[in-house]
Amino acid sequence: MNDKTNRPIYLDYSATTPIDERVVAEMIKYMGPEATFGNPASRSHSYGWTAEAATEDARQHVADLVGADPREIVFTSGATESDNLAIKGSAHFNQKRGKHIITCKTEHKAVLDSCRQLEREGYEVTYLDPEKNGLVDLEKLKAAMRDDTTLVSIMHVNNEIGVIQDIEAIGNACRERKIIFHVDAAQSAGKVPIDLANLPVDLMSFSAHKIYGPKGMGALYVQRKPRIRLEAQMHGGGHERGMRSGTLATHQIVGMGEAFRIAKQEMAMENERLINLRNQLWDGLKDMEEVYINGDFEQRVAGNLNISFNYVEGESLLMALKDLAISSGSACTSASLEPSYVLRALGRNDELAHSSIRFSMGRYTTSTDIETTIAHVRSAVEKLRDLSPLWDMFKDGIDIDSIEWAAH
Amino acid sequence: MAVYFDHNATTPLHEKVLEAMLPYMGSVCGNPSSLHRFGRLQRQAIEQAREQVAALMGAQTSQVIFTSGGTEANNLMLKGLSADASVQRIAVSEIEHMSLLEPAAKVACAVDRIAVNEQGLVTQESLKQAIQKDTALVSVMAANNETGAIQDIEKLAEVARESGTWFHSDVSQIAGKLAFSFEQTGVHAMTLSSHKFYGPMGAGALIVDKCLPMHSLLQGGSQEKGLRAGTENVAAIVGFGMAAELAAQELLERGDHVKVLRDALEKELMKFAVVKVFSQEIKRLPNTLQFGVQGFDGETLLMELDRRGFAVSSGSACTSGKTEPSHVLKAMAVSNDLATSAIRVSLGRTNTMAEVERFIEAMQQILGIKNSAVMMAANL
């Protein structure tokens, strides 16, 4: 990072993370004319065997981080594909048992859009409202369960507001009703301890590029005992025990393995550091007027802080904060100017949802970065509020919600 | 390390491809969907790669949909098109790759097979026979991964167009080896794989005419014009683009180099009476030679060659490990015995004549031992 001084401060680790240089070092061993190469599916020579052995080591590392058996790890091209495979694959396989699915309105698009696709195919989907703190109410979930419910899909850590769902309690409720439980763990693996050997979870999606591994790489945990069966979504060659065909990118698998190995080693220490940075950031902003945290503060992943700055328009704030690489929510929907559907689902009004910023910190964020961030944010918010007639009205004690705007 | 003669399975990364990729694995980080500078740099890199790939294949940039590889592109083609209510019937050739045949077995619409002749060629007649009134799409690969047989795609696409049928071609094996143009051949769609021509694994593309009513297979994001959800694999896409650019530059040189080696190998092997070269009478990929050895078992041959330091395969890597004879050779009416003795040699840009000579020596030893054993047995 030569030109680091000219670059914005990167606080968008929930969108993607840089690849850890230790991960790159492992990947490069499988890239290039002088490196080890081969198609892991080649059975007739050592190039293929070596590549396959490397992918199996990586599978072990991925399994180790989350307490799974390596035979339960199916590699995919990313968490989006994992979510698609988990949801459509299990819904299709179990359609004779029933065609009802339960999920939550704050899930990632990959889950919500897979569910919408199933609706087009004649399935019924219940989209639960989360509580105001972003968490799913267990009783409401239980009440939504029906005899024809075959799948519940609830994410572990939310990508926008960082709240951690109680997947153990949700999983137990699913087990009681013999419903398959899928968890999107793209934002939690490597950040929150996961022990699938003891968790009542049947399917779990992982992403490599959210924890310092390469893009284009993910995995789906598919429980073996009792065995969860899926209908494959990608066909041709029968790779990954028939659940996902296509040549595996050896260097990317190796990269994911190394990223997961490092995460297992460093997670505890890293979380402590990130919680300190998060507290530093919040301590530096919380005395401002009309500033709200979105999502539960305690049940929250270490590196995430999502804040609404009332009476400030989110897009203007992002523009004013050009020296910070931040986002107003999910990268996957950031091209649209709609207020975040996650914040809307928490019951935030459009204005507050529109004025929110997600700060996500990670391995390379420093305390100095946070100091600079606090200064930038405070000055930008003050400037924008100075220009805002709504802010003036608020300061004059006018209840803005009571104003009847002229039609036009 | 053994001599690598399995370039149709996968190729090593070109050093310049690696060079192009490294920044996107290191200092240049960001999600291409993010609006900040980090994200915009990633987006620009993807668009540059799209131009490079489009240029190699004679297509428009807007027609290039990046996927995780050839398998996904073939799945997207068949399942993504047949998901449209208007599509009632498709036809695929018998010698397609598994990544096309297996999704073809899963689509909801009717699927017909297009036969090949004994050389592995789809003739215009056989295509006409396979096309029915309601056939929406036909798919014929440009070059076969096992035999290297090259189809006359331009003529076949013309037949399809005359019948009002869309034409898809899996060009994974011909791309980067011989000139092939989307526009010139008149196809409506084609599948491409990066790691078959010195690009990285994990990237491929479906190049598709906008008039086809395609549906996405992956839901959850509007990437790739809504046809392929999921955060783009930027480093691999950048590598794919660079591999395409290099292939375009070095196309003739690469083709000539492997053809000289392949022809020399073929000439020597033909001296063994027991050797039969597949698809020998038609145009083949310049780097590919697949042959059967009468009276030999393919697995034994592979083991003997491995022992002598040669990495070859019997056919497709994706089906290797199976002992069944190749579906490609079966479709060409090759006998089971000969088909199970098949060996595929696929050469690449770093192979040398010295390696080819050593391979011939190794074959002489292997075939000689067996012959003398047979003779000894006969004498007893």
pLDDT of A408 above 60: no
pLDDT of B322 above 70: no
**Smallest Cα distance from A384 to chain B, Å:** 20
ipTM of the complex in this document: 0.90
- Best of B13, B172, B228, B290 to disrupt the A interface (most A CBs within 10 Å) is B13
The answer to whether the CB atoms of B71 and A21 lie below 8 A apart is: no
Handedness of CA A339, A342, A344, A347 (dihedral sign): negative
pLDDT tens digits, one per residue of B189-209: 999 999 999 999 999 999 999
Please give the Cα distance from A117 to A113 (Å, whole number).
6
* pLDDT value, residue A399: 79
What residues of A are labeled active site?
332
Residues of B numbered 286-315 whose beta carbons fall under 8 angstroms of chain A's beta carbons: which are they? 302, 306, 310-314
Interchain pair A32, B25: CB under 8 A: no
Q: What is the pLDDT of residue A2?
A: 37
Q: Is A131 exposed, middle or buried (0-12, 13-18, 19+ CB in 10 A)?
A: middle
**Taking a contact as any Cβ pair under 8 Å apart, which residues of chain B between 212 and 231 contact chain A?**
217-223, 229-231
Chain A partners within 8 Å of B35 (Cβ):
318, 327, 334-335
CA separation (Å) from B169 to B72, B105, B136?
14, 17, 14
Say if residue A80's pLDDT is above 70. yes
Say if the Cβ atoms of B234 and A215 lie within 8 Å: yes
Read off the pLDDT of each residue in B269-277 and give the average, rounded to a whole number: 95
Burial state string for A262-278 with b = 16 or more CB within 10 A and e = fewer than 16 = bbbeebeebbebbeebb
Whether residue B356 lies within 8 A of chain A, CB to CB, comes out as: no
Taking all residues of chain B, what is their mean pLDDT, rounded to a whole number?
Answer: 93
Residue A92 to chain B, least CA–CA distance (Å): 13
Q: Which CATH class is domain B15-246?
A: alpha beta
Instruction: Assign a CATH topology to domain B3-9+251-374.
Output: Aspartate Aminotransferase, domain 1 (3.90.1150)
Is the Cβ pair A237, B37 closer than 8 Å? no
On whether the CB atoms of residues B366 and B307 are closer than 8 A, the answer is: no
How confident is the model over A349-398, as pLDDT tens digits? 888 888 899 999 999 999 999 999 999 999 999 999 999 888 998 988 88
Residues 23-62 of B with CB under 8 A from A: 25-27, 29-31, 33-39
Q: For residue range B216-249, what is the model confidence (pLDDT) as tens digits?
A: 999 998 899 889 999 999 999 999 999 999 999 9
The pLDDT of residue B27 is above 80: no
What pLDDT score was predicted for residue B77?
Answer: 98
Using a CB-CB cut-off of 8 Å, the residues of chain A touching B313 are 42-45
A341 vs B contacts (CB less than 8 Å): none
Determine the residue among B68, B216, B223, B343 to mutate to test chain A binding: the one whose Cβ has the most chain A Cβ atoms within 10 Å: B68
CB-based contact B71 A237, cutoff 8 Å = yes
Nearest CA in chain B to A14: B31
**B70-114 per-position pLDDT tens digit:** 999 999 999 999 999 999 999 999 999 999 999 999 998 999 999
- φ and ψ at A183, to 5 degrees? -125, 125
Question: Are A228 and A222 a contacting pair, CB within 8 Å?
Answer: yes
The token pair that represents A242 in the structure block: 């028939």
Instruction: Decide if pLDDT at B376 tops 70.
Output: no
Contact A65, A75 (CB under 8 A): no
- How far apart (Å, rounded) are the C-alpha atoms in residues A295 and A399? 25
pLDDT tier, A406 (very low <50, low <70, confident <90, very high otherwise): low
pLDDT at A3 over 50: no
SS3 A207: strand
Residues A142 and A173: beta-carbon distance below 8 Å: yes
B326 and chain A: CB distance < 8 Å anywhere? no
The pLDDT of residue A167 is above 60: yes
Amino acid at A37: F
Tell me the Cα Rg of chain A: 22
Asked if A216 lies within 8 A of B106 by C-beta distance, the reply is: no
Which of the four pLDDT bands, split at 50, 70 and 90, describes residue A1? very low
Give the pLDDT confidence score for residue A256 in this predicted structure. 98
A404 to chain B nearest CA, in Å? Answer: 35
Residues 6+ apart with CB under 8 A from A49: A38, A42
What are the residues whose beta carbons fall under 8 Å from the beta carbon of B230, sequence distance 6 or more?
Answer: A77, A78, A79, A80, A81, A110, B218, B220, B221, B223
Tell me which residue in A33, A110, A233 faces B217 most closely, judged by beta carbons.
Answer: A233
Task: At B97, list the tokens.
Answer: 């790759």
Task: Note the pLDDT tens digit of each residue in A186-235.
Answer: 999 999 999 999 999 999 999 999 999 999 999 999 999 999 999 999 99
CA dist., res. A282 & res. A290, Å (int): 14
Residue B168 identity (one-letter amino acid): H
pTM above 0.80, yes or no: yes
The answer to whether residues B284 and B150 touch, using CB atoms and an 8 Å cutoff, is yes
Catalytic annotation on B109? no
**Contact call for B233 and A252, based on CB within 8 A:** yes
Cβ proximity of A287 and A240 under 8 Å: no
Tokens 């370039």 — which residue?
B7
pLDDT of residue A331: 55
* Candidate from B105, B218, B314 with C-beta closest to A81: B218
Contacts of A208 (CB under 8 A, 6+ apart): A78, A214, A215, A217, A218, A252, A255, A256, A259, A260
Q: What is the DSSP string of B263-313?
A: HHHHHHHTTSTTEEETTTTS-B-TTEEEEEETT--HHHHHHHHHHTTEE-B
Residues 67-106 of B with CB under 8 A from A: 68-72, 74-75, 97-103, 105-106
Shortest distance, CA B71 to any CA of chain A (angstroms): 5
Residue ranges of domains in chain B:
3-9+251-374, 15-246
Higher pLDDT, B289 or B320: B289
Q: What is the mean pLDDT of chain A?
A: 92
- pLDDT higher than 80, residue A47: yes
Residue from A2, A47, A52, A77 whose CB has the most chain B CBs within 10 Å, to mutate: A77
**Separation of alpha carbons B9 and B244, rounded Å:** 18
H or E stretch at A190: none
DSSP B30: -
Retrieve residue A300's tokens: 């929250």
Q: Does B13 touch chain A (CB under 8 A)?
A: yes
Q: Which residues of A touch B97 (CB under 8 A)?
A: 236
Which residues of chain A neighbour B27 with C-beta distances below 8 Å?
A: 1-2, 18
- B233:A216 CB<8 A: yes
User: What is the chain B residue with the closest CA to A117?
Assistant: B219
Q: What residues of chain B lie within 8 A of the CB of A322, using their CB? A: 36-37
Locate the DSSP E strands across chain B. 3-4, 64-67, 89-93, 110-114, 135-139, 166-170, 189-193, 204-208, 275-277, 288-293, 310-311, 343-346
Split at pLDDT 50, 70, 90, the class of A94 is: very high
Percent over 70 (pLDDT), chain B:
95
